[in-house]
Chains A and B, each alone.
Chain A
Amino acid sequence: MQEVVSQLNIVKYCRGYGLSIWQCPQFLFLVMGLIIILTSIGSYLIGSSYITDPSLVALIVIIITGVLFIISYIITRSFERLAEASRMKSEFINIVSHQLRSPITNIKWIADFLTSEDVEIADNKKDEYYTHLKENISRMVELIDDLLIVSKIEEGSFPLKKTKSSLNDLVYEVIERSKAFAEVCNIKIVFNPKESLPSAFFDPNLIKLVVENLIDNAIRYTKKGGRVEIETECRKNRLYFSIKDNGVGIPKQDQKYIFGKFFRAENAMRNQTKGSGLGLYIAKSIIIKSGGRIWFDSEANKGTTFHFLIPTK
């Protein structure tokens, strides 16, 4: 009995799908059913009173057909969205399982190797393997952190904690932290703050995440010996940030999907097999939440420039 009652709880179902009530198939079916019942009764009452005028009945039938047609269209669209959500979920599981499996395999095999009784490893060689262990554990932590952020974005539980902060200091800090990675990849990072930016009110932790993602991508997708240029300036009541690289660029056909969740451009996957396709989705969500705008210019094999603007207050 309780199960039957719970099945009637349409709002719960719609929440489960992550759709608004007007996009939820169960609710729309209920509305359609009600319209059919009400209009049948209405048609009967009108028909019994005004049967002498058949054009009025015809008009009512046309209106009802039109309304049902619109509702059917909305229901079809809702199913399409659900199917798309299901496809994205499968894709999500595929990507996450592959991305998590790689560091897990690394850890498993290194542990296997270090504990093999029939293999002797010199103590000084062991340090290298410990470093690999640490790197792979960090990789897993980073992926899980990204997934938690995405989950918060989707739930809408993503509070903005604005404090008086300096964008330039934040950029310097991220560059400092990325230096080792840039050096390994032989990439030069140049930061040109055009003017000393005034302090502004934004969430420094979230904007740092955006800057980290953009700098990390620029290094990752630029060939050895490449150059990454960062600029900041104040534009009216907004802070402007741009990052330009001379890397692989984003092919035209992939550009409209680049801020999509789990999307990775075809040439990006060819050059760099690691990556979850979450960085730019997170960056865009944060910038929009901060009341700003993010965009890019790119040409395949020439490079990409990402820009964002955020309000100073």
Chain B
Amino acid sequence: MKRILFIEDEKAIQKTMGEFLKKKGYNVISAFDGETGLKMVKVKKPDLVLLDLVLPKLHGFDLLEKIKADPETEKIPVIILTNLEGTEEVTKALELGATTYLVKSSYRLQDVLSKIKQVLK
């Protein structure tokens, strides 16, 4: 079973997306802030990270940079799942090594699932 780490501070989104992915056969683990997220990436070594950008304690960009700077975690694919949609943010995320960038409000749960499947193929 593939393990997905979902780093997101919105409880409702965590619960809904987490439950949805669990029902689709994934092992979902959650972190509600950037610092905890970073610790979990290192300890749990997930197959995929779903990462929000506006996070308490450690911003998503800093977290992404740290994941990609560590040889033990650099290969883990990271999908940015945020409500920020500026071109600057998208460019920066991709430059830092994000696999793809999704604006939450533009996607349905099913669409996010399809992207996850694509990345984990």
Contact = CB atoms under 8 A, between A and B. Distances in A.
B9 A116 contact: no
B54 A109 contact: no
B27 to A, nearest CB: 17
Classify chain A: how many residues form its interface, as a range. 20 to 34
Interface string B90-107: 000000000000001100
A109 B16 contact: yes
Interface string B80-117: 00011010000000000000000011001110000000
A98 B84 contact: yes
Contacts of A98: 54, 83-84
A135 interface: yes
Nearest to B54: A273
A105 B84 CA distance: 12
B29 interface: no
B17 interface: yes
A106 interface: yes
B1 to A, nearest CB: 17
Interface in A107-161: 108-110, 112-113, 116, 119-121, 128-129, 132, 135-136
Nearest to A114: B16
Interface in B1-43: 9-13, 15-17, 19-20, 23
Contacts of B109: 109, 112-113, 116
A110 B16 contact: yes
Contacts of B20: 113, 116, 119
Given A113-B19, A116-B20, A105 B56 contact: no
B55 A132 contact: no
Nearest to A132: B12
Q: Is the interface of A mostly helix, strand, loop or mixed?
A: helix
A136 B12 contact: yes
A105 B104 contact: yes
A101 interface: yes
B23 A105 contact: no
A94 B11 CA distance: 22
A7 to B, nearest CB: 35
B121 interface: no
Nearest to A136: B12
A122 B47 CA distance: 29
A101 B83 CA distance: 7
Interface in A261-309: 270-273
A106 B17 CA distance: 10
Interface in B61-97: 83-84, 86
Contacts of B15: 128-129, 132
Contact of A109 (B9, B13, B55, B84): B13
Contacts of B86: 94
Contact of A102 (B55, B56, B83, B110): B83
A234 interface: no
Query: What 5 A-B pairs are tightest by C-beta distance, nearest first?
Result: A132-B12, A101-B83, A106-B12, A105-B104, A101-B105
23 contacts: A98-B54, A98-B83, A98-B84, A101-B105, A102-B10, A106-B13, A108-B105, A109-B12, A109-B13, A110-B12, A110-B16, A113-B16, A113-B20, A113-B109, A116-B20, A128-B15, A132-B15, A136-B12, A270-B57, A272-B56, A273-B9, A273-B55, A273-B56
Interface of B: 9-13, 15-17, 19-20, 23, 54-57, 83-84, 86, 104-105, 108-110
Given A106-B13, A120-B23, A132-B11, 4 more contacts: A101-B105, A105-B83, A106-B16, A119-B20
